A and B are shown apart, each in its own frame.
Chain A
Amino acid sequence: MYESMMKVITGYGLISGFAVIGLTMWVSYWISDTFTKGRLHGSAIAILLGLALSYVGGAFTGGSKGVVDIPLLSGIGLLGGAMLRDFAIVATAFGVSVDELKRAGYVGVLALFVGVGSSFIAGVGVAMAFGYTDAVSLTTIGAGAVTYIVGPVTGAAIGASSEVMALSIAAGLIKAILVMVMTPFVAPLIGLNNPRSAVIFGGLMGTSSGVAGGLAATDPKLVPYGCLTAAFYTALGCLLGPSLLFLVMRGLVG
């Protein structure tokens, strides 16, 4: 009987994913209603639960894909993978106000550059405080603080050690996770409650999974505005990391 059940669950992975995530959503909204009187969104709790479970999954299996490394839950990988994620993000654009986008366009582009720059400086500053002095390592760790894709792309281009690359990926992952976790709590303090601030938020944070999760947990109506600018962030980081930012670092530390 157990064998047959496993066969169905793993063979119909995506369907199992829908069932498991649906159940998680139901539990989360129940927690939200009973313990926080709806003050903390059900979606925020669901994302927190997801992250906590992925920690447990990683700790038990030693894999790098959270709960997906547990065979029983591998279908979640299909459901939350890049393909369906991007498909759903594009769908959220339906019903977006074009006027709001136009009004935020210019400052959105500015936010992208400021976002890549500030994250890079943050990463470089911390790396310096921890005793790194060479331009290659500093640039790679700084790029990792931009996103966990920009880090290894930059590191590979300028010849960083694999240890430094791993650190840069970890820094980017922390960033994505923190954006998901903290955004619903910080949103009221920074005025993140309208399309324009969402466009700016997307450009400043940029980490697409972080922005997607953070805005979903704050207010789903803001998702398309933030994701639209965030879509350009990683590419901008990959463009600037191994070129301009590396040259600046080499000029600064020799």
Chain B
Amino acid sequence: MIIYGVAFLALCTLAGLFVGELLGKWMGIPANVGGVGIAMLLLIGLGSYLGKRGLFTGKSEQGVSFWAAIYIPIVVAMAAQQNVYGAISGGPMAILAGTVAVVLGFALVPVLVRIGNREPAAVVPTKEAG
């Protein structure tokens, strides 16, 4: 049933956001720590587990894929409610600060991709982070 897929997606989203809230509280910061990301990982993990056992099939999948497909229209609606006017009236300093940050970000993408590509070759055991 399609609703199983939608409910599964809803439960993953809520669980992820809940964990994100808890992490934020625990770290003492007023933000949701990766809730959406955690929810995505839950969906990927649980989804493939249930799929392998044949519990998540055809019709149920449609409940998730509909929302994935409606994503772009939602993003367009999101764009239409950004405070574009406020951002531009923030003046030249705000515009420049945002622009430089974006240009720097774009420029760093190929740099980090190169680091990431070299990574698998160097399998020398390094210190574990954290």
Contact of B113 among A89, A141, A200, A216 (CB under 8 A): A200
Mostly, the A contact residues are helix
Asked whether B123 is an interface residue with its Cβ less than 8 Å from the other chain, the reply is no
Cβ contacts under 8 Å, A224 to chain B: 40
Determine whether the beta carbon of A174 is less than 8 Å from that of B43.
no
Asked whether A190 is an interface residue with its Cβ less than 8 Å from the other chain, the reply is yes
Determine whether the beta carbon of B32 is less than 8 Å from that of A80.
no
> CA separation between A178 and B84, bound complex, in Å?
10
> CA separation between A66 and B48, bound complex, in Å?
40
Can you name the residue of chain B whose Cβ is closest to the Cβ of A58? B85
- Of the listed stretches A1-9, A46-54, A245-253, name the one at the interface; the rest are far from the partner chain: A46-54
Can you name the residue of chain A whose Cβ is closest to the Cβ of B74? A88
Q: How large is the interface on A (under 10, 10 to 19, 20 to 34, 35 or more residues)?
A: 35 or more
Interface size on B, residues (CB 8 A): 79
Determine whether the beta carbon of A196 is less than 8 Å from that of B75.
no
User: Known: A58-B86, A88-B68, A179-B102. Is A197-B94 also a contact (CB below 8 A)?
Assistant: no
User: Known: A88-B71, A235-B31. Is A186-B82 also a contact (CB below 8 A)?
Assistant: no
Q: In the complex, given contacts A18-B73, A68-B81, what are 17 additional A-B residue pairs having Cβ atoms less than 8 angstroms apart?
A: A47-B79, A49-B76, A51-B84, A59-B85, A66-B80, A76-B81, A79-B77, A91-B66, A92-B71, A94-B9, A96-B44, A114-B112, A130-B96, A173-B90, A178-B98, A201-B105, A231-B36
Q: Report, nearest first, the 8 A-B pairs whose CB atoms are least far apart.
A: A170-B90, A58-B85, A80-B77, A174-B98, A231-B37, A50-B79, A107-B116, A173-B87
Provide 18 A-B residue pairs closer than 8 Å at the C-beta atoms, listed in order of the A residue.
Answer: A21-B73, A58-B86, A73-B80, A88-B67, A91-B68, A109-B129, A119-B101, A123-B97, A168-B94, A171-B90, A172-B98, A190-B109, A196-B113, A196-B116, A204-B105, A216-B71, A232-B37, A235-B32
